Amino acid sequence: MAKYLLKRLLQSLVVLVVVSAVIFFTVRLSPSDPIASITKGKTVTAQVREDLLRRFNLDKSPIQQYYLWIGGMLKGDFGESYQYRQPVSLLVSQRVKTTVQLAALSTVLAILIAVPLGIVLAVKANSFTDKALSIISLVFVASPTFLIGVIFMLVFALRLKWFPSMGTGSFRHLVLPSCAMAINMVALTSRITRQSMIEELSSDYITAAYAKGVGPLRIIFIHALRNAVIPVITITSLQIGGMLVGAVLVETVFAMGGLGDLLISSIKSSDYPVVQGVTMMMIVVYCALSVVVDTLYAIIDPRIRLQ
Amino acid sequence: MIDMENLLEINGLTVELMTERGIVYALSGVDLNVAHGQIHGVVGESGCGKSMTAKSIMRLHNPKRSRMGGTILFEGEDIAAMEIKEVERLRGKDISMIFQDPAMSLNPLMSVGNQIAEMARVHLKSSKAEARQIALGMLEKVGLSPAINRYRQYPFELSGGMQQRVMIAIAIACSPKLLIADEPTTALDATIQAQILELIQSLSDEMGMSVLFITHNFGIVAEICSAVSVMYQGRVVETGYTRSVLDNPAHPYTAALIASIPTMALESQKRLGSIPGRPDTLYENLSYCPFCARCPQAFGQCRNERPGYQYLEDGHRAACFGIGG
Amino acid sequence: MLKAIIGQKTSKKNSYGKLLTPSFAISLVIFIAIVVLSAFAPVFATHDPNKNELQSSLAGPSKSHWLGCDVNGRDLYSRVLYGGRTALMGALGVVGLSIVLGIPLGLVCGYVGGLADTLIMRLCDVILAFPTLLLAFLFVATFGRGITISVVALGIVYVPMLTRLTRSLAIVEKNKTYVSAAISLGYSPLRIMYRHILPNCISTILVQLTLDLGYAILDLSSLSFLGLGVIEPTADWGAMLGQGRLYLLVNPYLSTVPGAVIVLSVVSLNIFSDCLRQYLDHTQVQLPSFEEYASRLEKQQKPQESGA
């Protein structure tokens, strides 16, 4: 188990190093002049230009810059924003709370709804409820998060006025965005749970468990569910990435001023230190969550744990 | 065998199954009796309904995709007519089953000890500690020692033979009256096969447990079964004591099956027998002898009527017009 | 009565593994309709999609503007048609790029293996470490906005998934006898990969590609919605939705109609791919219950009875 986790950690560390290089050097390929982004297009004197280049380490060679960037990040210094002239870490720390709340709330909500729903649909496979819900979930899987967000806003915030339409601050502000994000996940996760439960329920060891005289409830929850949950975890881990991007979209819809807003506005204004910093942070989170998921695998599945 | 009291009496069992091609008449009137303490073999080609019979006794079909007729009397009670709740009480406690592929039949995520202990928890309502003790005892009993170490292992850590021993330990954990063994040695190596057969036989003797032993191998029947039923196309075509059936096969199909057993007698220079043709899939309810197309002795009546049983001495009977007529 | 029906001999034609199911037909018709309407947008459009008529800014549906107008007074109906061109062509570009790179890479990984396999798979790991759109964000940040950049960026994101799928399929095929036979006949690796292995994997790949096409529509529209995709005044469903949401109370059609066509095209592609998979995978066949089967037989029998 320890060996497995260590290997997994090392792997993600290597990937993270390569990814950091990709992020850093891709951005360097930009044909646009970073000074133009810093001065918001104003022409400046050669002296000011020189100062700015030195201030943002742009006078050094790319390799040196990368080295400084990595070294800074390890110390919690993600560089300085071009447009805000503030440390990236400060900008992030002001906004990260909203994004984390949104992502956590929607994920918990989605799993709490999706897994039980999937089990019920698997047990009642091919019933009317199953067929009706499968069509509905098909539509939701195909609906972009931002569309659901926009429709929620139109119906529940603008027309019915049950919830505020934008901004942050209270729990009520979080309800619509979280639900909009969760719905997509519920649709996908419940489909996977259903499919996986149906497969497990028709496997030989379930027949054998019936032959043992085990009752249906115990079969579903003790025998089948534990096996069925493995592919569900896989899908959930893949969705973590989608969730991070989903948060960006939903934050935009509801003008929540989170990390996503920061990222998008920085992309538009070529604020590279922020783009690099936020992207890197998201990928670190993504990697860390993947490691957590793989640990979960090992806990559930002895075939991974004991090898 | 008729004079002994039977533990299991199956009369006119029919099972129809829904498949993507339409309805399959999987069993069309199975009659089969298993006496107390007897190891009863069921032989036939694949698809003849052996496993179907076993599944029917346990009521393991999907009720939506199958329908049953006839009676399955177990200790005088009709399993076929029971509520599923009652069947659940019977399963595992009074009737247990082991399967062809132990690797697929064990829950991959549960330790083998816990899978045995589950029997005690479910049927005997034992405490966790009691169930553990029972499971350890069972592991010893089926020859998996040291039991303490085996208890913690998972199915994937065991060999096929050991997995089948675990299945047997699960099956006998509550001292069932009947063990249904559905080709339990088919997926195993020849040497392991012999060990498993020996284990089943000794457990049957020791516990006075009846065994319904399903196999396609007449050699195994000759080795451990005291009585045998031969199935063809969803029907028992011949049944009787093993010696009697082996020595005097009455049904041409039984005779052909026995002739196809490879023997060590090479000097006889006899070619291994084979049965021409292939059984049809049972898409229709036949009104003639299902074997007539492959039978060397078939005559007019065979193609127009379904043969009933002809009785020979000592409970030996066969469904064939060619006997005694 | 029931017994008599059940007793009927069933023909082998009664196989459920057929492709032309109602849901397949419906999804196909919807998708083809969307494709045709978009492809022949100039024929079906009522207005120039980029012509501003400021006097009818945010106008509701009317005889001349069937779905109303956006803030610049451009006809929504015509823009939805032209937007389809952008969305579908873009998605096609994304999937096309992933085919051109992903399938050959996957074949090489699976069939040749060795160092090439290790290198390509590690490269895929790096790309997959970026949550879907994040790499596209990075590309847009670097090279600027525009449909081409978005398509290329997403195409690169889609490559590793297809590479992995092709690789796993190729490994399975590689170990089959017919490949050994082809090797012993002295065929070149290239010929074996493209003429022997690929045709045997293509059905599964096809299912994945139809799904990917839907995802590509979604991802491209997300980029455009965030203002990172198409540049004004090009019509695009995602961008239209993004602009329209600012005027939700004035003219909700501005965002709901583009949203609806996105959902419609993605749903139809998903159903399409689902049917395709079920058709190719016979183990997934759904069996009817006894009651359903009996009533089906009854229906089949009735015309015969009345005819007799």
Do residue B78 and residue B11 come from a single domain? yes
Residue B210 has pLDDT above 90, yes or no: yes
pLDDT category, C295, cuts 50, 70, 90? low
pLDDT category, B280, cuts 50, 70, 90? low
In a domain, C202, yes or no: yes
Do residue B42 and residue B87 come from a single domain? yes
pLDDT category, B281, cuts 50, 70, 90? low
Residues on chain A touching B169 (C-beta within 8 angstroms): none
Do residue B196 and residue B275 come from a single domain? yes
Measured between CA atoms, the residue of chain A closest to residue B86 is: A213
In a domain, C3, yes or no: no
Within an 8 Å CB–CB cutoff, is residue B108 touching chain A? yes
Within an 8 Å CB–CB cutoff, is residue A119 touching chain C? no
Mean pLDDT, to the nearest integer, of C133-160? 92
Residue C9 has pLDDT above 50, yes or no: no
In a domain, B296, yes or no: no
Do residue B144 and residue B195 come from a single domain? no
pLDDT score recorded for residue B271: 53
pLDDT digits (tens, 9 = 90+) for B72-83: 999 989 999 999
Mean pLDDT, to the nearest integer, of B209-223? 92
In a domain, C66, yes or no: no
Of A39-53, B136-150, B308-322, the range with the highest mean pLDDT is B136-150
- Contact across the interface for C14 and B19, Cβ inside 8 Å: no
Do residue B8 and residue B154 come from a single domain? no
Q: Number of folded domains in chain B?
A: 2
Is the model more confident about B283 or about B106? B106
pLDDT score recorded for residue A168: 79
Measured in angstroms, the CA of B171 and the nearest CA of chain A are apart by: 7
In a domain, C12, yes or no: no
- Contact across the interface for B21 and C285, Cβ inside 8 Å: no
pLDDT score recorded for residue C148: 92
pLDDT score recorded for residue C285: 47
In a domain, B153, yes or no: yes
In a domain, B321, yes or no: no
In a domain, C114, yes or no: yes
For the stretch A222-261, what's the b/e string if a residue is b when 16 or more beta carbons lie within 10 angstroms of its beta carbon?
Answer: bbbbbbbbbbbbebbbbbbbbbbbbbbbbbbbbebbbbbb
pLDDT category, B130, cuts 50, 70, 90? very high
Last residue of a domain, one of B122, B156, B175: B175
In a domain, B199, yes or no: yes
pLDDT score recorded for residue C17: 53
Q: What percent of chain A has pLDDT over 90?
A: 39
Do residue B212 and residue B88 come from a single domain? yes
- Contact across the interface for C289 and B18, Cβ inside 8 Å: yes
Give the full edge-to-edge strand order of the sheet including B77-78.
Answer: B22-35, B6-19, B66-74, B77-78
pLDDT digits (tens, 9 = 90+) for C239-283: 999 988 888 888 889 999 999 999 999 999 999 888 888 787 654
pLDDT category, B312, cuts 50, 70, 90? confident
Residue A15 has pLDDT above 50, yes or no: yes
Q: What is the ipTM of this complex?
A: 0.88
Last residue of a domain, one of B125, B143, B175: B175
pLDDT category, A242, cuts 50, 70, 90? confident
Is the model more confident about B40 or about C57? B40
pLDDT category, C1, cuts 50, 70, 90? very low
In a domain, C206, yes or no: yes
What CATH number did the domain enclosing C149 receive?
1.10.3720.10
Q: How far is CA A139 from CA A154, B210, C95, C260, in A?
A: 19, 56, 22, 10
Element (H, E) at C60: none
pLDDT score recorded for residue C294: 58
**A11, A130, A134, A146: best mutation site toward chain C, by most C Cβ within 10 Å?**
A146
pLDDT score recorded for residue C4: 34
Do residue B107 and residue B168 come from a single domain? yes
Mean pLDDT, to the nearest integer, of A167-191? 89
pLDDT score recorded for residue B209: 94
In a domain, B133, yes or no: yes
Residue B105 has pLDDT above 80, yes or no: yes
pLDDT digits (tens, 9 = 90+) for C10-51: 333 334 456 778 888 899 999 999 999 999 999 898 888 888
Do residue B35 and residue B69 come from a single domain? yes
Do residue B280 and residue B218 come from a single domain? yes
pLDDT score recorded for residue C14: 36
Long-range CB contact pairs, B71-80, < 8 A, 24+: B71/B9, B71/B10, B71/B11, B71/B12, B71/B13, B72/B8, B72/B9, B72/B10, B72/B13, B73/B6, B73/B8, B73/B9, B73/B10, B73/B11, B74/B7, B74/B8, B74/B178, B75/B7, B75/B177, B80/B13, B80/B56
Chain C: residues touching B (Cβ < 8 Å): 6-7, 9-12, 14-17, 285, 287-290, 293
Do residue B81 and residue B182 come from a single domain? yes
Q: What percent of chain B has pLDDT over 90?
A: 56
Residues on chain A touching B97 (C-beta within 8 angstroms): 208, 211
Q: From A210, A125, A133, B55, select the one nearest C288 (Cα to Cα).
A: A125
Is the model more confident about C232 or about A213? A213
- Contact across the interface for C14 and B67, Cβ inside 8 Å: no
Mean pLDDT, to the nearest integer, of C79-91? 94
Question: Which domain does C172 fall in, by range?
Answer: 21-42+72-307
pLDDT score recorded for residue A38: 80
Measured in angstroms, the CA of B241 and the nearest CA of chain C are apart by: 36
Do residue B71 and residue B210 come from a single domain? yes
Give every CB contact of residue C262 below 8 A, 6+ residues apart in sequence: A142, A143, A144, A147, C87, C217, C218, C221, C237, C238, C241
- Contact across the interface for A215 and B118, Cβ inside 8 Å: no
Residue A284 has pLDDT above 50, yes or no: yes
- Contact across the interface for A252 and C226, Cβ inside 8 Å: yes
Q: Number of folded domains in chain C?
A: 1
Residue A297 has pLDDT above 70, yes or no: yes
In a domain, C1, yes or no: no
- Contact across the interface for C228 and A268, Cβ inside 8 Å: yes
- Contact across the interface for A279 and C259, Cβ inside 8 Å: no
In a domain, B28, yes or no: yes
Neighbours of chain C (3+ CB pairs under 8 A): A, B
Q: What percent of chain B has pLDDT over 70?
A: 91
Average pLDDT, chain A: 88
Measured in angstroms, the CA of A138 and the nearest CA of chain B are apart by: 26
pLDDT score recorded for residue C12: 33
Last residue of a domain, one of B175, B205, B239: B175
In a domain, B108, yes or no: yes
Measured between CA atoms, the residue of chain B closest to residue C285 is: B20
Helix (H, G, I), strand (E, B) or coil at C239: helix
What CATH number did the domain enclosing B192 receive?
3.40.50.300
Q: Which of A109-123, A162-176, C220-234, C249-263 has the lowest mean pLDDT?
A: A162-176
In a domain, B8, yes or no: yes
Residue B264 has pLDDT above 70, yes or no: no
Mean pLDDT, to the nearest integer, of C148-169? 93
- Contact across the interface for B97 and A208, Cβ inside 8 Å: yes
pLDDT score recorded for residue A59: 82
CA B250/CA B139 separation, integer angstroms = 43
Task: Give the residue carrying structure tokens 């951005």.
Answer: A27
Residues on chain B touching A127 (C-beta within 8 angstroms): none
Do residue B81 and residue B218 come from a single domain? yes
Question: Which domain does B232 fall in, by range?
Answer: 3-94+178-290+310-315
pLDDT digits (tens, 9 = 90+) for B177-196: 999 999 998 888 888 999 99
In a domain, C6, yes or no: no
pLDDT digits (tens, 9 = 90+) for B48-102: 889 899 999 999 888 888 889 999 999 989 999 999 889 988 999 999 999 988 9
Across B157-234, where does the E strand assignment appear?
178-182, 210-215, 227-232
Residue B170 has pLDDT above 90, yes or no: yes
Dihedral (CA of C104, C107, C112, C113) sign: positive
